[in-house]
Chain A
Amino acid sequence: MTTESEAHPVPNPDDDLLRKALAKAVAGLTGSGRLDVVEVAADGVTSFKIIRDDHGVPRGRRWHTQWIDLAQEHGAQEHGAQERGAVLRAADIDPDGDAVLVFSSPGGSRAEQAFEWLRSARPDAPALRVDDSVATVVTEVLRTDPLTRSYDLVVLRPRTDGSLELATVPLFPVQARPGATTTLPLHCERGGPNGTAFAVVTWQGHEPLLLSVESAALPPGSYEVTAELRRPGRVRFSGLPPLSADPRGWAALIAEVPPRLPLRPSGAGHLICAIEVCGVEEKVAERVGRARQVVSTLSNRPGLAVSVVAYGAHSFDRSVKDPRVEVRAWRVDVATAQGVLDELEDRGPITAGYPYHPHAAQLEDMLATVDRRLAADPASPVALLTIGDRPPHPPRIDSSRVLPCPHRHDWRATVTRLEQTWNVVFGAVVDHQAGGPLPRVWQRLGSAALANFDALDIRGLTSGLGLTSDPVPVPFPLIDVE
């Protein structure tokens, strides 16, 4: 953030004196205080009330009362106390606030008299004699008042696991003067109906206060945005298409923030459905039915590749061969995938009864097979949707007394490798009865999208997997996006 030096016309000496006095006074103005600037001019008394709003931006209002008005107030003839009172009422100086008295009409006896009264009323207030109008100087001072609060821009930062975190980026520090600019790289996603909102906020303790918000429909992409502090309370952004004022309040903006960064369906996407085909006949049919539902909702996505993998239970009897994990289809289009799923449903469970293990399934073997297949063609982003309910076999004997996997596959290592090397997104549909915590494996396999077998929210699932056709709008710009 670079700050330029302020460009100023050459000031004449007494203007400069008044400006300094006013600037000091305004700087000294705290959040709750008030500054009165009374100008006794030839035509009357002008009183300026300057306060700082919640954002610390100095705001001024001006009242002007003509001399004649004053006279009418206390009748033409008698001078003395009533007139003094009227002048003071017109000046309306807050006794415990700050005040600055300015005399700007040389020679006028009434102004002199009023000035004297004002000075006597507020001997502590600085009194200045200038020869031209104070208004321009006041507005000039207010406009160049250094910030008493830092200004931040509201952005979204994606966490490692894909969820989005609301954050702010500091634009202008305290004491920044108008004209200061900061440039920062931002990334914008589609912003929905109102487009992407650029909201400037100041911090009230721990609470952000919306200072200003402007938005525009930006095509998704990265931008080099320069923010310029026009004056306190007014920031202008450049490097962007023209922004327009945004009626939405802070609560409305926050409400539109999506839980996680929608994957840019940039590539065609590859959905792998892994289905447990052992156990009770109806359960197998139901699982395949769930898979078909997911695939059919994505049928309108262009270029989506679907794979179907089926796995059963280990056999622990020498004479009975261990059923292998079957890759029924690899990177086929949706229609073929549905055909394969129908075959799977007709075939029903492949392993039943003794000697197949009743309490676990070949989950770890399925993960190893998927890992091997992805090593062969690591093309597009991959989403693995697992539909089943039995836990995997552990690599070694452990307290669960479930017999270890004959091939000693370790499902934890495989899941981590899938996540890191092929950045696979994990979704799971688990038939998990309430009661008792969800086993660790399903928490890992359902990290991106976890759905209960009975209450299946297809849309939530597909969007979690980043395969949905209509991405979720992101109201704020994003930073730190790889």
Chain B
Amino acid sequence: MAETPRHHIAMWGAPGSGKTTLLAALSVALNRRDDDWKIVGQNPESSAYLTDMTSALTSGKEFPEASTALETYQWALIGPGPTGLFRRQRTSTMIGLTMVDAPGGHFAPSKGRTGGAEERQEELMANLTQSRGIVFLFDPIREFEVGDAYDHLHGPLNRLAEKMLEADQFENGKLPHNIAVCITKFDDPRVLQTAQKQRLLSPDLDDKHQFPRVAVEDARELFRELSRVSATGSAEMVMNALDKFFHRDRIRFYVTSSIGFYLDQQTETFDWNDYLNLVPDEADKAALRIRGPVYPINVVEPMLWLGECLAKQGRSR
């Protein structure tokens, strides 16, 4: 089989911001769509990961454990071909993705030059310099409680810029990467209500579940609004840092939720009175389990956008 061009996409975010959960929800999200995009593992261990994680989210109803090692998955997004006017037959497009999911600690500012942190940074940089797609996860709840999103951004970002400059990969003054900034945990009542107060909710009419959504144009506004409540107030700098280092047309904001909202069983529609999709676990009082079926929101869109951008640039690593 002809070796398809592979695109490297790296997940970037603080520990517990939902990187592994987002990947776990990817195949469920694709199954929820009615176009025929699908995801297939390109080696046995990557497809094993897809099946395990999907069953963990749907039947096991539990969140993935904190990842301890930097994982690399080889997947292929297969979907409908480009529908141009002149195209007579429909061909399939296939985007080869190499997803890199590093534990959040890799991005943390290293306290002192401990050997391990050095090694972890090397490992991380090796991936980031190769990849041209980045999924940056901004966890508003963590930002509200701890406020260290900027710490997990500027360290690795400067190191990345240094390495790219050294390898002369800058494109007219900015990094060549395409970056999808995902605001996660949209299903948390505090985030949903913030969006509602700012009147950023625009329901998607043909969505039979009538989930509240934040359009891509408003997502940037919601990001700014959520940064304002940061515990250390350093969140505004995240926006500026992103604008400085990435081209304006290569940044896109998405408001995402890996587990989505709880749907009323009978009406299968969103119910403003009862939408929390988490239920406390009796056995271990503090534990939270996923309550109902999972309806990921905006989990596939960033991947597709990144895939298409990378394919367009013909950049294959």
Partners in one complex: yes
Q: A396, B279: Cβ atoms under 8 Å?
A: no
| Beta-carbon contact of B282 and A396 below 8 Å | no
For B289, give the chain A residue with the smallest CB separation. A354
Provide the bound-state CA to CA distance between A316 and B273, in Å.
15
Stretch at the interface among A79-87, A129-137, A164-172, A355-363: A355-363
Q: Does A89 contact B (CB under 8 A)?
A: no
Query: Are B282 and A316 touching (Cβ within 8 A)?
Result: no
Q: Which of B265, B274, B291, B293 contacts A397 (CB 8 A)?
A: B274
Given contacts A316-B291, A318-B265, A358-B285, contact A408 B273 (CB under 8 A): yes
Whether the Cβ atoms of A396 and B283 lie closer than 8 Å is no
Report Cα–Cα, A353/B292, bound state, in Å.
17
A403/B276 contact (C-beta < 8 A), A318-B265, A318-B292 known: yes
By a CB distance below 8 angstroms, the chain B residues around A395 are 273
Q: Which residue of B lies closest to A356 (CB)?
A: B282
Q: Is the CB of A317 within 8 A of B274?
A: no
Residues of B within 8 A of A316 (CB): 279, 291-292
A404→B272 CA distance, assembly (Å): 11
Complex CA gap A358/B287 in Å reads 11
Residue pair B282, A353 in contact (C-beta under 8 Å): yes
0/1 string, B36-50, CB within 8 A of A gives 1: 000000000000000
Q: A318-B292, A397-B189 are in contact. Are A358 and B280 (CB under 8 A)?
A: yes
Residues of A347-389 whose CB lies within 8 A of B? 352-359
Let me know if A401 is at the binding interface, CB within 8 A. yes
Give the residues in chain A near B291, CB-CB below 8 Å.
Answer: 316-317, 355, 403
CA distance A408 to B265 in the complex (A): 14
Q: Which of B273, B292, B293 is close to A396, meaning CB atoms less than 8 Å apart? A: B273
- CB pair B275 A403 closer than 8 Å: no
Q: How far is the CA of A354 from the CA of B288 in the complex (A)?
A: 11
Contact of A396 with B189 in the complex, beta carbons under 8 Å: no
| Chain A interface residue number, banded | 10 to 19
Min CB–CB distance A83 → chain B (angstroms): 104
Cβ of B118 within 8 Å of any chain A Cβ, yes or no, is no
Interface residues of B in 238-277 (CB under 8 A from A): 265, 273-276
Interchain CA distance A117-B34 in the complex, whole Å: 128
**How many residues of chain B are within 8 Å of chain A by beta carbon?**
16
- CA of A355 to CA of B290 in the docked complex: distance in angstroms? 10
Give the residues in chain A near B265, CB-CB below 8 Å: 318
Distance in angstroms from A320 CB to nearest chain B CB is 11
Please classify the interface of chain B as helix (H, G, I), strand (E, B), loop, or mixed, using the class held by over half of its residues.
loop
Q: Is B281 an interface residue (CB 8 A)?
A: yes
Q: What is the 8 Å Cβ interface bit string for chain A, positions 311-349, against chain B (1 contact, 0 not)?
A: 000001110000000000000000000000000000000
Q: How far is the CA of A406 from the CA of B281 in the complex (A)?
A: 18
Q: Given A318-B265, A318-B292, A358-B282, are A401 and B274 neighbors across the interface (CB < 8 Å)?
A: no
With A316-B291, A317-B291 in contact, is A353–B273 under 8 Å at CB?
A: no
Could you tell me the distance between the alpha carbons of A316 and B274 in the complex, rounded to whole angstroms? 12
Query: Which residues of B have CB within 8 Å of A404?
Result: 273-274
Q: Is the CB of B273 within 8 A of A397?
A: yes
Which residues of chain B have C-beta atoms less than 8 A from A406's C-beta?
274
Determine whether the beta carbon of A397 is less than 8 Å from that of B276: yes
Whole-angstrom distance between the alpha carbons of A85 and B275 in the complex? 105
Q: Separation in Å of the A62 CB from the closest CB of chain B?
A: 87
Complex Cα gap A357–B280 (Å): 7
Interface centre among A353, A356, A358 (most CB of B within 10 A): A358
Enumerate chain A residues within 8 angstroms of B273, measured Cβ to Cβ.
Answer: 395-397, 404, 408
A354-B281 contact in complex given A317-B291, A397-B275, A403-B274, C-beta closer than 8 Å: yes
In the assembly, what is the distance between CA of A318 and CA of B290, in Å? 12
- In Å, the complex CA distance between A192 and B293 comes to 67
How far, in angstroms, from A2 to B289 measured CA to CA in the complex? 78
Nearest to A316 among chain B residues (CB) is: B279
What residues of chain A lie closer than 8 Å to B282, measured between beta carbons?
Answer: 352-354, 356-358
Among A352, A354, A359, find the residue whose CB has the most chain B CB atoms closer than 10 A: A354
Q: Which residue of A lies closest to B59 (CB)?
A: A319
Answer whether A354 and B283 are a contact pair too, CB < 8 Å, given A316-B291, A318-B292. Answer: yes
Bound-complex Cα distance A408 to B267 (A): 15
Q: What's the Cα separation between A403 and B274 when bound, in Å?
A: 7
What separation, in Å, do the CA atoms of A404 and B276 have in the docked complex? 9
Q: Measured between alpha carbons, how far is A312 from B292 in the docked complex, in Å?
A: 21
Q: Which B residues are CB-close (under 8 A) to A356? A: 282
Q: Given contacts A317-B291, A358-B285, A396-B273, is CB(A401)–CB(B189) below 8 Å? A: yes
B192 to chain A, nearest CB (A): 10
Task: Provide the bound-state CA to CA distance between A318 and B280, in Å.
Answer: 15
Task: Bits for B108-127, please: 1 = Cβ < 8 Å to A, else 0.
Answer: 00000000000000000000
Chain B neighbourhood of A403, CB < 8 A:
274, 276, 279, 291
Bound CA span A357–B276, Å = 13
Once the chains are docked, how many angstroms separate the CA of A359 from the CA of B283? Answer: 12
Q: Is the CB of B274 within 8 A of A355?
A: no
Please give, as numbers and ranges, the residues of chain A lying within 8 Å of B285 by CB-CB distance. Answer: 358
- Per the 8 Å Cβ criterion, residues 397-418 of A in contact with B are 397, 401, 403-404, 406, 408
Inter-chain CA distance A154–B281, complex, in Å, is 60
Interfacial residues of chain B within 278-317, with CB under 8 A of chain A in the complex: 279-283, 285, 289, 291-293
User: How long is the Cα–Cα vector from A305 to B273 in the complex, in angstroms?
Assistant: 39
Q: Which A residues, 271 to 320, have Cβ-Cβ distances below 8 Å to chain B?
A: 316-318
- Give the 6 A-B CB pairs with smallest separation, nearest first: A358-B282, A396-B273, A404-B274, A316-B279, A353-B282, A354-B282
Query: Residues of A with Cβ closer than 8 Å to B?
Result: 316-318, 352-359, 395-397, 401, 403-404, 406, 408
* 13 residue pairs bridging A and B, Cβ less than 8 Å apart: A317-B292, A318-B265, A318-B293, A352-B282, A354-B279, A355-B291, A357-B279, A395-B273, A397-B276, A401-B276, A403-B274, A403-B276, A403-B291
Given contacts A354-B289, A357-B280, A359-B280, 7 further A-B contacts (CB under 8 A): A354-B283, A356-B282, A358-B282, A397-B189, A397-B274, A401-B189, A403-B279
